[in-house]
Structure 1
């Protein structure tokens, strides 16, 4: 992939129309839309380096920077990020369900958490746009739960025999997982081979910045500054003026008209706090989903004949008035065997691994601060909410009924999941004065030339994977800003 590399010394004191901090989903999709509108130059600043796909496969790594080296974690829960050009697009598993319409209004509908300042309907056209860019393979039947105005770009992956039985019994609740793993080869991507190594895809089948957005980094209007950390933003009145950058050659400053902050939900608030831009609940509300692993032993029915790592997604326990008391639960039907195959002769594949994933309530006491001596990010996470834990228990309690279309022999709880690797919250969107940091257009309430992108802006937690929504939000924010 061709990259217009510059050094910090090269661009010291330069002025750009657009300065983009970070290069993950939020930043890259915003830039993809912005480049259609700006006439001046843009700068991408990435803390990590560029690691080509073949290097990642050979080294079995997405980055040389360990996530835990970029912050001080005061708790035991891991917080996974990827510090490299392309951010989380390097290592994601590319599961791409949309958020549910109810996820945008949990306060209004159920009296919990915070409403988003936008609705599903407002975001829907940009979901379609993001799906087109990523060539998402999806099940058209999902429109029964998640309404859509355009078809999926690619047909769904092959479901398992189990999925076919579940779809027959629950045609409006059980679907084939939508995914950024190609079902049909594209000009830059192979076909998913279902080897369960999605974080480091050996077929280059999943969407990444390298195979899906390479034009961003070679565009003649774009400079790319790698291995450089943004330490602070300089402001005057209600506008950001400059970014202070720390690299191998020391500290430098770059100026700009519009700044986009997409350095993940840990580093983005740290940058603002170091800059004395502590508006609303900056740094507060760090969260992700709560999850558990289950294995189901089947009587005479084999599994693992689907065409990708996660074949089914079941919404039977997702939405309803019960969300007033406990969270929604989304059930993932797996096409892999994390605990091994069954040992009985002739029954090795009569096994169904499941992931039960629930939303969690963002807690302001779960937060990112900065070390007063070093200015580095500090994670202070106090744990999941009872609301989220009860949501998983709700799934466990109803699993036997949910699986009634299948010949279930026994159900085995295996473990609580340490993490879903979805770092969310800390710079939530909302209405000015309600504790939120950015508005519905993702503009900072105070700094009106600062766009905050990525999952840091999420007011609440959905059981669904968050990456597609981050991409859609950025496309919408750029469209609003430049229209």
Structure 2
């Protein structure tokens, strides 16, 4: 990966056309579209370091900075982030379903949550663009539930014998999981080897900033300052004028014309709060999915013959008027054995691990604040909603009906999942005055040259993995600004 790394001292007092804070999905996809439209220079300020794929494999780590060292957690629930160049693109498992059209209007349709300020159709072209950039392997049949204007760039992964039975019985609900783990090798990425070590992919198959944007951070217009934590924004008259950041114990300042805040859904609100900018529900509404693990014992049907870690997605419990009372649920059919194989001789593979993920309702009291003395981010999370739990419980209680095409011997609830590692919702989009922080173009309601990207912008919680949507939102935001 080409990297134009510069020192903090070298940029001290400098002025840039674009200053980007953080380098995860939101920031990187925004930069990828903006770079050719800019006449001046870009500065990327990243708290972490650059850890190449080879280093990550050798060290068996995505970063040297542990998540819990970057905030104080008042509760027990873990909140996983990756502080490094590329952010979550280093550690993600690269599941890439789109959000469902109903996810954008849960308040209008079902009277719960917050509507997005635009609908699925507005984001759909940018979903397709993000899928092309990431070389997504996907099932064309998914258009039955998630309309699309362009085909997936790569063919779907090979499903299991279980997936084949489920797809035949439920063609409108069961699909092969779309992923940024390619079925076919690309110029910079190998094909998925299905070894279930996606956070540290041994064959460099999954999409990352390093293999997906190999020249972006080395572009002649781009400077990158690493190991530098942004403390606050400087602003007046509705415009951000500069950024204060700390490197190696010393404070530095840069100024700019346009700013992009994409530090993550914990640190981005913390930066605004340290800056004295708490417009709307800044820092409030922290959320992610509610999840549970289970196992299905099968009678005479073997599993684990698919070509990637998770092969099946089932939407049977996803959408309908029931969302007025309980959450949507998405079921993941696994091609791995997190609890081991069956012990009976000759029946080791007659088992189906599954995961249920449901949406949750963002609550204002689940929030990020800052320590008034140190400025450190504090997570005050009071717990998931009963609404989110009811969706999981309903799906589990009716799983025997869903799995009727399979020779089911027994179904076992294993555990509630501690986290999905999806930190969302602390700087949500909306209309000024409704509690939102940014508008439909992802521009701050009060600071009109500040773009907020990443999953902090999500107004509501879908059962689906959020990374593809974060990328698509940034592509759309850059398009609206630069054409």
Report the TM-score range of the alignment, normalised by the length of the smaller protein.
over 0.9
List per-residue Cα deviations over 1:197-240 (Å, max 9, x = no partner). 00100010000000001221110000000000000000011000
Using the size of structure 2 for normalisation, the TM-score is: 1.00
Q: Is the 8 A contact 1:19 1:260 kept in 2?
A: yes
Q: What is the 5 A alignment of 1:169-184?
A: 169-184=169-184
**Structure 1 residue 401 corresponds to structure 2 residue 401:** yes
Q: Which SS does the other structure have where 1:435 is aligned? A: coil
Report the Cα distance in structure 2 between the residues aligned to 1:323 and 1:227, rounded to whole angstroms.
Answer: 44
Q: Which SS does the other structure have where 1:36 is aligned? A: helix
Aligned to 1:60: 60
Report the Cα distance in structure 1 between the residues aligned to 2:96 and 2:215, rounded to whole angstroms.
Answer: 23
Report how far residue 125 of structure 1 moved: 0.2
Superposition RMSD in Å:
0.5
Report the Cα distance in structure 2 between the residues aligned to 1:340 and 1:29, rounded to whole angstroms.
Answer: 38
**Structure 1 residue 461 corresponds to structure 2 residue 461:** yes
Aligned to 1:119: 119
Report how far residue 36 of structure 1 moved: 2.2
Q: Which SS does the other structure have where 1:424 is aligned? A: coil
Q: Matched residue pairs, number?
A: 483
Structure 2 alignment gaps of length 5 or more? none
Q: Which SS does the other structure have where 1:348 is aligned? A: coil
Report the Cα distance in structure 1 between the residues aligned to 2:252 and 2:337, rounded to whole angstroms.
Answer: 50
Aligned to 2:240: 240
Aligned to 2:221: 221
Report the Cα distance in structure 1 between the residues aligned to 2:40 and 2:359, rounded to whole angstroms.
Answer: 42
**Structure 1 residue 386 corresponds to structure 2 residue 386:** yes
Report how far residue 118 of structure 1 moved: 1.1
Report the Cα distance in structure 2 between the residues aligned to 1:217 and 1:459, rounded to whole angstroms.
Answer: 30
Aligned to 1:82: 82
Q: What is the 5 A alignment of 1:330-345?
A: 330-345=330-345
Report the Cα distance in structure 1 between the residues aligned to 2:67 and 2:106, rounded to whole angstroms.
Answer: 32
**Structure 1 residue 431 corresponds to structure 2 residue 450:** no
Q: What is the 5 A alignment of 1:30-429?
A: 30-248=30-248, 250-429=250-429
Q: Which SS does the other structure have where 1:33 is aligned? A: helix
List per-residue Cα deviations over 1:331-378 (Å, max 9, x = no partner). 000000010100001000000000000000000000000001001100
Q: Which SS does the other structure have where 1:47 is aligned? A: coil
Q: Which SS does the other structure have where 1:5 is aligned? A: coil
Report the Cα distance in structure 1 between the residues aligned to 2:23 and 2:214, rounded to whole angstroms.
Answer: 12
Q: Is the 8 A contact 1:9 1:249 kept in 2?
A: no
Using the size of structure 1 for normalisation, the TM-score is: 1.00
Q: Is the 8 A contact 1:8 1:249 kept in 2?
A: no
Structure 1 alignment gaps of length 5 or more? none
Report how far residue 398 of structure 1 moved: 1.2
Report the Cα distance in structure 2 between the residues aligned to 1:60 and 1:81, rounded to whole angstroms.
Answer: 16
Report the Cα distance in structure 2 between the residues aligned to 1:441 and 1:457, rounded to whole angstroms.
Answer: 11
Report the Cα distance in structure 2 between the residues aligned to 1:413 and 1:142, rounded to whole angstroms.
Answer: 28
Report how far residue 77 of structure 1 moved: 0.2
Q: Is the 8 A contact 1:293 1:414 kept in 2?
A: yes
Q: Is the 8 A contact 1:136 1:152 kept in 2?
A: yes
Q: Is the 8 A contact 2:2 2:216 kept in 1?
A: no
Report how far residue 482 of structure 1 moved: 1.0
Report the Cα distance in structure 2 between the residues aligned to 1:445 and 1:70, rounded to whole angstroms.
Answer: 27
List per-residue Cα deviations over 1:162-198 (Å, max 9, x = no partner). 0000000001100000000010000100010100000
Report how far residue 249 of structure 1 moved: 5.1
Q: Is the 8 A contact 1:129 1:472 kept in 2?
A: yes
Report the Cα distance in structure 1 between the residues aligned to 2:450 and 2:95, rounded to whole angstroms.
Answer: 29
Aligned to 1:443: 443
